[in-house]
Amino acid sequence: MTTRRLEQIRNFSIIAHIDHGKSTLADRLIERSGALSQREMAEQVLDSMDLERERGITIKAQSVSLDYTARDGRTYQLNFIDTPGHVDFSYEVSRSLYACEGALLLVDASQGVEAQSVANCYTAVEQGLEVLPVLNKIDLVSADPDRVVQQIEEIIGLDAADVLKISAKTGQGLDELLESLVQHFPPPMGDPDGPLKALIIDSWFNNYLGVVCLVRVFDGVVQPGEKIRVHSTGREFTVDQVGIFTPKQTSWQSLTAGRVGYVIAGIKSLDGAPVGDTLTHASQKTTVPLPGFKVVKPRVFAGVFPVSAEDYEDCREALAKLRLNDTALRYEPETSQALGFGFRCGFLGMLHMEIVQERLEREYGLNLITTAPTVVHEVLTTRAEVLEVHNPADLPPLGEIKEIREPIIQASILVPQEYLGNVIKLCEDKRGSQKSLQYVGNQIALEYEMPMSEVVLDFFDRLKSASRGFASFDYEFRRFQVASLVKLDILVNGEPVDALSTIVHRDLAQVRGRELTERLKSIIPRQMFEVAIQAAVGSRIIARSTIKALRKNVTAKCYGGDITRKKKLLEKQKAGKRRMKQVGKIEIPQDAFLAVLQVDQANK
Amino acid sequence: MFRFTASPPLALYVHLPWCVRKCPYCDFNSHALRGELPATAYVDALLADVLREIKHIHEREISSVFFGGGTPSLFPPAALARLLEGLQRYLRIAADCEITLEANPGSVDQARFEDFRSAGVNRLSIGVQSFQADSLHRLGRIHGPQAAVAAVETAHAAGFDNFNIDLMYGLPNQGRPAAVADITQAIALAPPHISHYQLTLEPNTAFAARPPALPEDDAIYAMQIDCQTRLAGAGYQHYEVSAYALRDRRCRHNLNYWSFGDYLGIGAGAHGKVTDLDKGKITRYEKLARPMAYIREATAGEAVAKSHQLSAQDAVLEFMMNALRLPEGVPRKLCTARTGLPWVCFEAAVDDARNRGWLDITADDRVRPTALGMRFLNNLLGCFLPPD
């Protein structure tokens, strides 16, 4: 077996904060390769999910292969593997980086380095990638390259003396960028004649083709007609098609070692091609698989319930399909007295949760109620058992609880000096304790330990408003820690609504209870009768609000010609009700189940 | 195919679309008048239009005629007289036919009212809306409080013993005392009929585009109760959601809508609903809305813009949308007679509504909303909407 350098291939990704211009740069690169017409370039092509384009973020890894003829006269295949920029998706980032030898660290020349880029950059360095810093938006008047170069050196510790300065918008510096990319990034290593080893970086379901796998071939060759095996399951498939994305799906005769491309092999079942798995030829019974990825643990849990019970099976199927290329997503069946049958889902963070919910609603046409997210708690029972509680409703009775432990995270925050006071106050409000404070240029790097439940609530939004959007933030799980926690129940006309229960710090129970009952009062529409909303800890009522009865619901006028329009009005009212959940006699809108999240905002 | 045993009574609606100017709350097919009102051409078009309606009549008499608008009182009385003569020629108008004309204060004088009366109009509906200068201004009305009072007095003087006053409540900036003052003033003018509506912001109106600040729901409801108490005290019977009348002075034309009778509609944007006994179907239709297009097409041949046949589900819901507006309800037999559908088509929804306490079937076999059902009529009607 002869491992060698595959000189004319470069595999790389771009690490960038949201808005720092990654998509624009990707567009320029695609344009330069001439793979798409001007018209096809009309939109940024890489963020292909509607949701991604709307939010201007990348959720899923995608790849593009470009041909580039360098100054040495040789044509290189550049494989760009996209990485998500948000902290929730750090797992996806490490997956994308695994398939690369190099990474461009793209930094906005006026905004400077952000905490998420720092974290992703460390991941790249840890994985042995060559990192090349690049300043973007150099054409802006507000660009301050010297300051940002200093930041890159101080915060990240990269030598930025020869930093590339580009404008992805105007194309300035693009040639130098492509040349440096070819010169600085090492070519992939691999044995094209060895037994096949291809890593599944991502996979998704296409209605016509079945499962499409995005792979990085490490050794060997894969081509249509061959029998391949998915290592973990041992199942065998015949390859129908291989190819690359230019970004158009373009079929090739084979994919050889070092390359990144797709494999379609008639895989129909949803779990047929798990991300992180290794593809080999069917004849290779003893090949040692590639290391794959570490399994990430979801940290945030929420109930996802179809509004109408008939959608339950569709919901299960949709979750299964999403899980296929989102291995971080967890789900297990859950039953709520208030909301019926649904699923307890585990997410990486809040954005991940929102994205999953939106995809379920948009791509699968489901009408859902999502409960407020909660973190995982550890409960030590009086029988000395340790339980992992994903749902406040599953908390054992008070008498059986010896202690409750909550997850603590370490938050890394970068903030300009003028907002330091606001941010410190916010961290203290959120029960944080300061671990370090360092001046880095004119920014401050803060480290805080704080309960994860506080971060889940609304920390990110409030950090943004406390710093006018300038602070950036990253976090990682540290440990479980004993805390004085209680379960806060919400009763609607005397009936507890399990889906509205939360676990809160004892000292905050009263305040949260009051905020929550007030918030629910403003969300739940008036009904034909008075509705009492109470907050309780155990059997003790700690707060109450009252929704007054609606006086009437009548259309004032209805004559001969009006009937069609008035009928539409009735239908609209009924459709409005359909989006609500009937709990006992009371109709509760979906937002109510997220009210826990909004209490703080409502009071700011 | 529905099975009818007898044709429903038949009314005639005539739409006269012109106004001096369009009010910001109005969602009817009305058009601000620019230049001369094309009365002759319009009457010709209406008469051509009604001729093509004859196929829907099936030997019935016309029990009521309603000239709605717009502001029909802007129409020259002579043109209206010619129209009524023409209608008499083509249709069988009942001897005791109720013939109503909508009039707006500010567009009437005694001579005009007398002329309308001699043309055959025997009932007026006067769009007073409020007696407060401030409210009238906010509603974009062209008249002031004096003109409102004068219009009613003129109606009396011109010999009308049957007329209605339209009033609105829940107006921008209106307090409870102002609403009560309006109803008190209306009662003092002794109209035989009062329509008392809550102002609603309808789509495609100036108010919908720039919504005025309206009183709180609870305050509006308090106005309603106060006004209803005064109306009842003065002998007005509450016979429909927003309609109140002295004995024998209920509006026959509107009652025909609410009891799911038939009506022909002529004029720009007019709606009609007709039952075909032999074919067993109910049809709704709508005439072209733009006045000039209507004149052109009606004169040339055909002014129907669209029409559709009711499904059984439509018929049940639309029947109830009308009939349940009446606190006294309707005989249970009317449900089947007017829709041509067997009782089984109503039964499940009626039972559901009864179980919720919104609907009654009385000892004399009437279907009637309860007091609660009356207050939550839209919820009650929700029972009759087809399931998802």
Residue A495: phi and psi, rounded to 5, are -95, 125
Q: Tens of pLDDT along B87-140?
A: 999 999 999 999 999 999 987 788 899 999 999 999 999 999 999 999 999 999
**Whole-number Å distance between alpha carbons of B312 and B3:** 11
Q: Which two tokens stand for residue A557?
A: 């006028």
What local confidence, expressed as pLDDT, does residue A375 receive? 87
pLDDT at A295 over 80: no
Q: What confidence tens digit (pLDDT) does each residue in A512-553 have?
A: 899 899 989 998 999 999 999 999 998 899 999 999 999 999
Residues in chain A: 604
Percent of chain A with pLDDT over 70: 89
What mean pLDDT do residues B11-37 have?
91
A558 touches chain B (CB under 8 A): yes
Q: Which helix (H) or strand (E) holds B303?
A: none
Q: What is the per-residue pLDDT for B388?
A: 62
Nearest CA in chain A to B15: A561
A578 to B388: CB separation less than 8 angstroms, yes or no: yes
pLDDT tens, A324-350? 767 778 898 988 877 889 999 988 777
The percentage of residues in chain B with a pLDDT greater than 90, rounded to a whole number, is 89
Q: Do A574 and B322 touch (CB under 8 A)?
A: no
- Backbone φ and ψ for B374, nearest 5 degrees, come out as -65, -40
Q: A569 to chain B: nearest residue by CA?
A: B378
Q: Do B257 and A570 touch (CB under 8 A)?
A: no
Instruction: Tell me the whole-structure pTM to 2 decimals.
Output: 0.67
Interface test with A, best of B253, B376, B384 (most A CBs within 10 A): B376
Query: Residue A528: which of B257, B263, B379 has the nearest Cβ?
Result: B379
Q: Which of A58-62, A90-94, A206-210 is the least confident region?
A: A58-62
pLDDT tens string A475-484:
888 899 999 9
- Which range of A439-453, A556-570, B371-385 scores highest in mean pLDDT? It is B371-385
Radius of gyration of chain B (CA): 21
What pLDDT is attached to residue B285? 96
Whether the CB of A579 is below 8 Å from some CB of chain B: the reply is no
Instruction: Tell me if A293 sits within 8 A of A98, measured CB to CB.
Output: yes
A549 at interface of B, judged by CB pairs closer than 8 A = no
Confidence at A2, pLDDT banded by 50, 70, 90: low
A71 CB near a chain B CB, below 8 Å? no
Q: Is the pLDDT of residue A120 over 90?
A: no
Strand pairing partners for B18?
A: B31
Over 70: is that where the pLDDT of B289 sits? Answer: yes
pLDDT band for position A602 (50/70/90)? very low
Label residue A59 by pLDDT band (50, 70, 90): very low
Predicted local distance difference test score (pLDDT) of residue B283:
96
Decide if pLDDT at A108 tops 80. Answer: yes
Contact of B327 with chain A, judged by CB distance below 8 Å, is answered with no
Could you check whether the bond before residue A247 is cis, i.e. omega within 30 degrees of 0?
Answer: yes
Can you tell me whether residue A280 is helix, strand or coil?
strand
Strand B330-331: give its sheet, edge to edge. Answer: B330-331, B366-369, B359-361
What domains appear along chain A, each with residue ranges and CATH number? 6-184 (3.40.50.300), 197-281 (2.40.30.10), 300-367 (3.30.70.870), 378-483 (3.30.70.240), 487-601 (3.30.70.2570)
Three-class DSSP category at B349: helix
CB contact residues (below 8 A), chain B span 249-288, against chain A: 254, 257, 263, 265, 269-273, 284, 286
Of the pLDDT bands very low, low, confident and very high (cuts 50, 70, 90), residue A1 is very low
What distance in Å separates residue A311's CA from the closest CA in chain B? 13
Give the gap in angstroms from C-alpha A195 to the nearest C-alpha of chain B.
58
Position A106: which residue type? L
Q: Is A212 helix (H, G, I), strand (E, B) or coil?
A: strand
- Residue A601 scores a pLDDT above 50: no
Q: Which two tokens stand for residue B273?
A: 């609903």
pLDDT of residue A57: 47
pLDDT at B173 over 70: yes
In whole angstroms, what is the distance from residue A295 CA to residue A276 CA?
Answer: 9
| B325 and A CB contact within 8 Å | yes
Q: Express each pLDDT in A412-444 by its tens digit.
A: 888 888 899 999 999 998 889 999 998 877 788
pLDDT at B72: 95
